[in-house]
Amino acid sequence: MGLKRGKTFKLSLIAIFSVLLFLISQLHKSLPTIIQVIFAVILTIGVLLINSFGGAIMITSLAGLLYSFTSHIGFLMLIPWIVRGAVVDILFKLFKIYGSNLDSLKRHLLVALGMTIGSVCTGLTQLFVIVFIIKAIPFWGASIVFILILNAAVQTTIGSFIASKYLINRIMRLIG
Hey, what amino acid is at 72?
A: H
Distance of CA 150 to the CA centre of its chain: 15
Query: pTM for this one?
Result: 0.91
Residue 23 half-sphere exposure toward CB, CA atoms < 13 A = 8
> Residue 163: its pLDDT value, please?
97
Residue 150 half-sphere exposure toward CB, CA atoms < 13 A = 6
> Residue 146: its pLDDT value, please?
85
Q: What is the DSSP string of 123-135?
A: HHHHHHIIIIIS-
Higher confidence at residue 2 or residue 38?
A: 38
Using DSSP's 3-state secondary structure scheme, residue 97 falls into: coil
Segment 122-162, tens digit of pLDDT: 999 988 888 778 877 776 666 787 888 899 999 999 999 99
Q: Give phi and psi for 168, each to the nearest 5.
A: -60, -40
Segment 6-45, tens digit of pLDDT: 889 999 999 999 999 999 998 876 666 688 999 999 999 9
CA distance 89 to 82: 11
> Residue 145: its pLDDT value, please?
79
Model confidence at 91, pLDDT cuts 50, 70, 90, reads: very high
Mean pLDDT of the chain: 90
